[in-house]
Every structure is written in structure tokens, then in C-alpha cells.
Amino acid sequence: MNQTNKTLSLYNKLEKYPFGNKLFSIMVSRIAPYFATISPKISELVPNQCTCLIKKRKKVFNHIKTVHVIAICNGLEMAMGVMAEASVPKHLRWIPKGMTVDYTAKAGSDIRCVAKVNAEDWQPGDMLVDITAYDENDVVVVKGNIKLWISEKPTK
């Protein structure tokens, strides 16, 4: 992984400061505004893995007052997108093609969304990113994958 990646460098710079992770998350939400609907916080970003936190609060509730699965999917997609931007080799680009998820338990607490791949997975073609959402007791509440299309960047 090339450490000159702009996304990873910015995260590493900001995380050293109080509220740095929150500021980074707000910046990501400005680039992709739909993410702001869940007030996410990127809590960890390393090459090929990202963790995004969603607080259990009224604006993400479903009818039974648990965290709505679409809010969780939004958090999982944010974790995947930030991970991909921080990890994609310089000669490649990515675009999402689909998401497959299983709802495995009620999401009755804050949620931790994790997206990860293996470094060797960054090859042209389809790539599956493992995504998992955990409650505060480490119970898996959503599990699945996001399919990315990886291609070579065009030559300039």
C-alpha cells in the first residue's frame, strides 16, 4: 500500500487531534451527502479495512425502535467507500455494483460497521468486500458483501 494515498494521509493527520475522526467523517459526508443522514463516525481506517460507528438515536430508528437496517447499510457502504478510497492502488479505480446483506439480529444498540478486503484482492474485475455490522455486545446484526468493479485507470 502506497502511504501517499490522500484519503489515508488525511485520516492519519486528523485522527491525532481531538474530534479529528468526527471532522474526517463530516468531510466524507460533505463529499457524499447521503452519509450525513446517519451522523456516522469513522473510528478506524487502515489499508484494506475501515470501521464506521452509528449511534442508536431516533433519526435511525425503525418502527420497533431498533436501528433501521437501511441506516446500517448506509454505514456499511460508507465504511466500504472510505476503505476503498484509502486502499485502491494508484493505477486502479473502483465503482460499486451491488450489495448483498443478511439481517441476522435486532440492532438494539450503537452499531459498528466494518468493511475489509485482502490486499491481493485489488485486481481488475469483480471484487467482493466483506461487510459486517456489530452491536455493542459484538453480536453480528448484518453481514454480507459489496461487489465492486475494479478497472485500470485510463492513461492520460
Write down the pTM of the prediction.
0.93
How do the pLDDT tens digits run along the chain, 156 residues long? 444 689 999 999 999 999 999 999 999 999 999 999 999 999 999 999 999 999 999 999 999 999 999 999 999 999 999 999 999 999 999 999 999 999 999 999 999 999 999 999 999 999 999 999 999 999 999 999 999 999 999 987
> In the β-sheet with 92-103, what is the strand arrangement from edge to edge?
41-46, 49-54, 111-116, 125-134, 140-152, 92-103
Structural domains in the chain plus CATH codes: 6-152 (3.10.129.10)
Q: Which amino acid is at 53?
A: L
